[in-house]
Structure 1
Protein backbone atom coordinates (compact mmCIF):
# COMPACT_ATOMS: atom_id res chain seq x y z
CA UNK A 1 0.00 0.00 0.00
CA UNK A 2 1.41 3.37 -1.00
CA UNK A 3 1.27 6.24 1.44
CA UNK A 4 1.83 9.97 1.52
CA UNK A 5 5.19 11.27 2.69
CA UNK A 6 6.23 14.64 4.09
CA UNK A 7 9.01 16.80 2.68
CA UNK A 8 9.71 20.46 3.46
CA UNK A 9 6.40 20.68 5.30
CA UNK A 10 4.38 19.44 2.31
CA UNK A 11 2.50 16.14 1.95
CA UNK A 12 3.31 14.26 -1.25
CA UNK A 13 2.18 11.05 -2.93
CA UNK A 14 4.44 9.15 -5.34
CA UNK A 15 2.45 8.66 -8.54
CA UNK A 16 5.25 7.98 -11.00
CA UNK A 17 4.54 11.24 -12.80
CA UNK A 18 7.22 13.79 -13.66
CA UNK A 19 6.20 17.37 -13.05
CA UNK A 20 7.46 20.91 -13.24
CA UNK A 21 6.45 24.07 -11.46
CA UNK A 22 4.82 26.69 -13.64
CA UNK A 23 5.52 30.42 -13.34
CA UNK A 24 2.31 30.87 -11.34
CA UNK A 25 3.27 28.16 -8.83
CA UNK A 26 1.17 25.26 -10.12
CA UNK A 27 2.52 21.75 -10.57
CA UNK A 28 2.18 20.62 -14.19
CA UNK A 29 2.48 16.92 -15.09
CA UNK A 30 4.75 16.60 -18.14
CA UNK A 31 5.75 12.93 -18.34
CA UNK A 32 5.73 9.54 -16.64
CA UNK A 33 8.70 7.97 -14.89
CA UNK A 34 7.61 4.59 -16.24
CA UNK A 35 5.91 4.64 -19.60
CA UNK A 36 3.33 2.03 -18.62
CA UNK A 37 -0.28 2.00 -17.61
CA UNK A 38 -2.50 -0.59 -15.99
CA UNK A 39 -5.65 -1.99 -17.62
CA UNK A 40 -8.87 -2.64 -15.73
CA UNK A 41 -7.78 -6.29 -15.47
CA UNK A 42 -4.59 -5.29 -13.68
CA UNK A 43 -2.21 -5.90 -16.59
CA UNK A 44 0.63 -3.44 -17.14
CA UNK A 45 0.98 -2.19 -20.72
CA UNK A 46 4.52 -1.23 -21.88
CA UNK A 47 3.43 1.69 -24.05
CA UNK A 48 6.57 2.29 -26.13
CA UNK A 49 7.08 -1.41 -26.92
CA UNK A 50 3.49 -1.84 -28.09
CA UNK A 51 3.46 1.38 -30.13
CA UNK A 52 6.78 0.49 -31.78
CA UNK A 53 5.61 -3.02 -32.66
CA UNK A 54 2.45 -1.82 -34.37
CA UNK A 55 4.00 1.21 -36.07
CA UNK A 56 7.15 -0.46 -37.37
CA UNK A 57 5.39 -3.51 -38.77
CA UNK A 58 2.44 -1.76 -40.43
CA UNK A 59 3.11 -0.37 -43.89
CA UNK A 60 0.37 2.27 -43.70
CA UNK A 61 0.79 3.70 -40.19
CA UNK A 62 2.91 6.84 -39.99
CA UNK A 63 2.22 7.31 -36.30
CA UNK A 64 0.64 4.94 -33.79
CA UNK A 65 -0.14 5.74 -30.19
CA UNK A 66 -1.97 4.18 -27.30
CA UNK A 67 -4.39 6.45 -25.51
CA UNK A 68 -4.01 5.92 -21.76
CA UNK A 69 -7.33 4.36 -20.90
CA UNK A 70 -7.20 2.39 -17.69
CA UNK A 71 -10.89 1.50 -17.52
CA UNK A 72 -10.69 -1.02 -20.36
CA UNK A 73 -9.37 -4.55 -20.52
CA UNK A 74 -7.70 -4.28 -23.92
CA UNK A 75 -5.44 -1.77 -25.61
CA UNK A 76 -6.76 0.68 -28.18
CA UNK A 77 -4.73 2.19 -30.99
CA UNK A 78 -4.91 5.57 -32.66
CA UNK A 79 -3.35 5.43 -36.12
CA UNK A 80 -2.34 8.55 -38.02
CA UNK A 81 -1.86 8.26 -41.78
CA UNK A 82 0.08 11.07 -43.40
CA UNK A 83 3.18 10.50 -45.52
CA UNK A 84 2.01 6.99 -46.46
CA UNK A 85 -1.27 8.28 -47.94
CA UNK A 86 -0.06 7.58 -51.49
CA UNK A 87 0.39 3.89 -50.69
CA UNK A 88 -2.95 3.86 -48.87
CA UNK A 89 -4.77 5.33 -51.88
CA UNK A 90 -3.13 2.77 -54.21
CA UNK A 91 -4.25 0.01 -51.85
CA UNK A 92 -7.78 1.49 -51.82
CA UNK A 93 -7.95 1.49 -55.61
CA UNK A 94 -6.96 -2.19 -55.80
CA UNK A 95 -9.53 -3.04 -53.12
CA UNK A 96 -12.39 -1.03 -54.64
CA UNK A 97 -12.54 1.40 -51.72
CA UNK A 98 -13.61 4.83 -52.97
CA UNK A 99 -13.53 8.31 -51.50
CA UNK A 100 -11.05 11.00 -50.61
CA UNK A 101 -8.11 10.45 -48.25
CA UNK A 102 -10.18 11.00 -45.10
CA UNK A 103 -12.96 8.66 -46.24
CA UNK A 104 -10.53 5.89 -47.21
CA UNK A 105 -8.55 6.13 -43.96
CA UNK A 106 -11.78 6.00 -41.92
CA UNK A 107 -13.34 3.16 -43.97
CA UNK A 108 -14.12 -0.22 -42.41
CA UNK A 109 -12.10 -1.89 -45.17
CA UNK A 110 -8.98 0.09 -44.27
CA UNK A 111 -9.45 -0.62 -40.57
CA UNK A 112 -9.72 -4.31 -41.45
CA UNK A 113 -6.44 -4.09 -43.39
CA UNK A 114 -4.76 -2.40 -40.41
CA UNK A 115 -6.17 -5.05 -38.09
CA UNK A 116 -4.74 -7.80 -40.31
CA UNK A 117 -1.31 -6.14 -40.30
CA UNK A 118 -1.50 -5.55 -36.54
CA UNK A 119 -2.41 -9.20 -35.92
CA UNK A 120 0.65 -10.28 -37.93
CA UNK A 121 2.86 -7.81 -36.02
CA UNK A 122 1.60 -9.06 -32.65
CA UNK A 123 2.23 -12.65 -33.70
CA UNK A 124 5.73 -11.87 -35.01
CA UNK A 125 6.69 -10.04 -31.79
CA UNK A 126 4.89 -12.62 -29.63
CA UNK A 127 2.82 -10.02 -27.80
CA UNK A 128 0.76 -11.27 -24.88
CA UNK A 129 -2.97 -11.53 -25.50
CA UNK A 130 -3.94 -8.40 -23.59
CA UNK A 131 -1.49 -6.36 -25.75
CA UNK A 132 -3.20 -7.41 -28.98
CA UNK A 133 -5.49 -4.74 -30.33
CA UNK A 134 -9.13 -5.60 -30.99
CA UNK A 135 -10.64 -4.60 -34.34
CA UNK A 136 -13.19 -2.32 -32.67
CA UNK A 137 -10.41 -0.51 -30.77
CA UNK A 138 -8.66 0.97 -33.82
CA UNK A 139 -9.20 4.68 -34.44
CA UNK A 140 -7.81 6.10 -37.69
CA UNK A 141 -7.14 9.65 -38.74
CA UNK A 142 -5.73 11.28 -41.87
CA UNK A 143 -3.43 14.29 -41.57
CA UNK A 144 -1.92 16.03 -44.59
CA UNK A 145 1.83 15.45 -44.97
CA UNK A 146 3.72 18.13 -43.08
CA UNK A 147 1.05 18.45 -40.36
CA UNK A 148 3.66 18.16 -37.59
CA UNK A 149 5.55 21.21 -38.84
CA UNK A 150 2.29 23.20 -38.86
CA UNK A 151 1.64 22.20 -35.23
CA UNK A 152 5.16 23.19 -34.16
CA UNK A 153 5.04 26.52 -35.99
CA UNK A 154 1.55 27.30 -34.76
Structure 2
Protein backbone atom coordinates (compact mmCIF):
# COMPACT_ATOMS: atom_id res chain seq x y z
CA UNK A 1 0.00 0.00 0.00
CA UNK A 2 2.93 2.38 0.60
CA UNK A 3 3.95 2.01 -3.05
CA UNK A 4 0.38 2.83 -4.11
CA UNK A 5 0.38 5.90 -1.84
CA UNK A 6 3.66 7.09 -3.40
CA UNK A 7 2.24 6.57 -6.89
CA UNK A 8 -0.82 8.57 -5.88
CA UNK A 9 1.32 11.57 -4.88
CA UNK A 10 3.48 11.29 -8.00
CA UNK A 11 0.70 12.72 -10.16
CA UNK A 12 1.02 16.17 -11.64
CA UNK A 13 -2.55 17.17 -10.66
CA UNK A 14 -5.11 16.20 -8.05
CA UNK A 15 -8.91 16.16 -7.88
CA UNK A 16 -10.65 15.91 -4.56
CA UNK A 17 -13.91 16.08 -2.69
CA UNK A 18 -12.05 17.38 0.40
CA UNK A 19 -10.26 20.49 -0.77
CA UNK A 20 -8.71 22.16 2.26
CA UNK A 21 -5.86 19.69 2.93
CA UNK A 22 -4.66 19.88 -0.67
CA UNK A 23 -5.01 23.66 -0.73
CA UNK A 24 -3.02 23.97 2.53
CA UNK A 25 -0.23 21.88 0.96
CA UNK A 26 -0.13 24.05 -2.19
CA UNK A 27 -1.09 21.17 -4.49
CA UNK A 28 -2.79 21.96 -7.83
CA UNK A 29 -6.25 20.66 -6.93
CA UNK A 30 -9.64 20.60 -8.63
CA UNK A 31 -12.70 20.23 -6.41
CA UNK A 32 -15.18 17.68 -7.70
CA UNK A 33 -18.84 18.00 -6.76
CA UNK A 34 -21.85 17.63 -9.03
CA UNK A 35 -24.14 19.70 -6.82
CA UNK A 36 -22.37 23.08 -6.80
CA UNK A 37 -20.60 25.19 -9.43
CA UNK A 38 -18.07 26.42 -6.85
CA UNK A 39 -16.89 25.94 -3.28
CA UNK A 40 -15.34 28.48 -0.92
CA UNK A 41 -12.36 28.25 1.40
CA UNK A 42 -11.29 31.22 3.49
CA UNK A 43 -13.54 33.58 1.48
CA UNK A 44 -12.02 32.41 -1.81
CA UNK A 45 -14.28 30.70 -4.33
CA UNK A 46 -12.98 27.80 -6.42
CA UNK A 47 -14.83 26.44 -9.48
CA UNK A 48 -15.79 22.77 -9.27
CA UNK A 49 -16.24 20.07 -11.88
CA UNK A 50 -19.18 17.66 -11.80
CA UNK A 51 -17.37 14.35 -12.41
CA UNK A 52 -14.01 12.75 -13.24
CA UNK A 53 -14.91 12.87 -16.93
CA UNK A 54 -14.69 16.69 -16.73
CA UNK A 55 -11.09 16.70 -15.47
CA UNK A 56 -8.84 18.80 -17.74
CA UNK A 57 -5.89 16.35 -17.40
CA UNK A 58 -7.39 13.02 -16.24
CA UNK A 59 -4.38 10.85 -17.12
CA UNK A 60 -2.15 13.10 -14.98
CA UNK A 61 -4.59 13.45 -12.06
CA UNK A 62 -4.90 11.47 -8.84
CA UNK A 63 -8.39 11.46 -7.34
CA UNK A 64 -9.10 11.49 -3.61
CA UNK A 65 -12.58 10.20 -2.78
CA UNK A 66 -14.63 10.90 0.32
CA UNK A 67 -18.17 9.95 -0.61
CA UNK A 68 -20.47 7.24 0.69
CA UNK A 69 -19.69 3.77 -0.70
CA UNK A 70 -22.68 3.67 -3.06
CA UNK A 71 -21.55 6.95 -4.68
CA UNK A 72 -17.87 5.94 -4.65
CA UNK A 73 -18.56 2.99 -6.96
CA UNK A 74 -19.90 5.29 -9.69
CA UNK A 75 -17.08 7.82 -9.19
CA UNK A 76 -14.52 5.02 -9.53
CA UNK A 77 -16.08 3.79 -12.77
CA UNK A 78 -16.11 7.31 -14.22
CA UNK A 79 -12.51 7.88 -13.10
CA UNK A 80 -11.40 4.64 -14.74
CA UNK A 81 -13.16 5.54 -18.00
CA UNK A 82 -11.53 9.00 -17.93
CA UNK A 83 -8.06 7.49 -17.52
CA UNK A 84 -7.32 8.58 -13.94
CA UNK A 85 -4.25 6.53 -12.85
CA UNK A 86 -4.55 6.65 -9.05
CA UNK A 87 -7.29 6.95 -6.43
CA UNK A 88 -7.23 7.38 -2.67
CA UNK A 89 -10.31 6.08 -0.88
CA UNK A 90 -10.72 7.91 2.40
CA UNK A 91 -11.92 5.90 5.43
CA UNK A 92 -15.66 5.31 5.24
CA UNK A 93 -15.86 5.97 1.49
CA UNK A 94 -15.80 2.36 0.31
CA UNK A 95 -17.04 -1.15 0.87
CA UNK A 96 -15.04 -4.32 0.10
CA UNK A 97 -16.21 -4.33 -3.52
CA UNK A 98 -15.20 -0.69 -4.06
CA UNK A 99 -11.78 -1.17 -2.48
CA UNK A 100 -11.06 -4.26 -4.57
CA UNK A 101 -12.16 -2.45 -7.72
CA UNK A 102 -9.80 0.46 -6.93
CA UNK A 103 -6.86 -1.85 -6.29
CA UNK A 104 -7.53 -3.91 -9.42
CA UNK A 105 -8.47 -1.25 -11.97
CA UNK A 106 -6.05 1.61 -11.24
CA UNK A 107 -2.29 1.92 -11.37
CA UNK A 108 -2.60 2.75 -7.66
CA UNK A 109 -5.59 2.32 -5.37
CA UNK A 110 -4.95 3.54 -1.82
CA UNK A 111 -7.37 2.64 0.95
CA UNK A 112 -8.26 0.11 3.57
CA UNK A 113 -6.23 -1.18 6.50
CA UNK A 114 -2.84 0.35 7.21
CA UNK A 115 -1.47 3.82 7.34
CA UNK A 116 -0.39 5.66 10.46
CA UNK A 117 -3.82 6.22 12.02
CA UNK A 118 -6.35 3.88 13.51
CA UNK A 119 -8.96 4.14 10.73
CA UNK A 120 -6.88 3.06 7.73
CA UNK A 121 -5.19 5.04 4.97
CA UNK A 122 -6.23 8.69 5.27
CA UNK A 123 -4.78 11.67 3.38
CA UNK A 124 -5.10 13.85 6.48
CA UNK A 125 -3.01 11.41 8.54
CA UNK A 126 -0.73 9.80 5.94
CA UNK A 127 -0.45 12.43 3.22
CA UNK A 128 2.49 14.39 4.65
CA UNK A 129 4.85 11.44 4.97
CA UNK A 130 3.78 10.06 1.56
CA UNK A 131 4.52 13.40 -0.10
CA UNK A 132 7.87 13.53 1.69
CA UNK A 133 8.74 10.05 0.36
CA UNK A 134 7.90 11.15 -3.20
CA UNK A 135 10.07 14.28 -2.85
CA UNK A 136 12.99 12.20 -1.53
CA UNK A 137 12.70 9.75 -4.44
CA UNK A 138 12.62 12.62 -6.96
CA UNK A 139 15.71 14.20 -5.37
CA UNK A 140 17.64 10.95 -5.89
CA UNK A 141 17.01 11.10 -9.65
Structure richer in helix, relative to its length: 2
TM range (shorter): under 0.3
The structure with the largest alpha-carbon Rg is 1
Q: Relative contact order, CA 8 A, sep 6+: which one is greater?
A: 2
Structure richer in strand, relative to its length: 1
Superposition TM-score, scaled by structure 1 size = 0.22
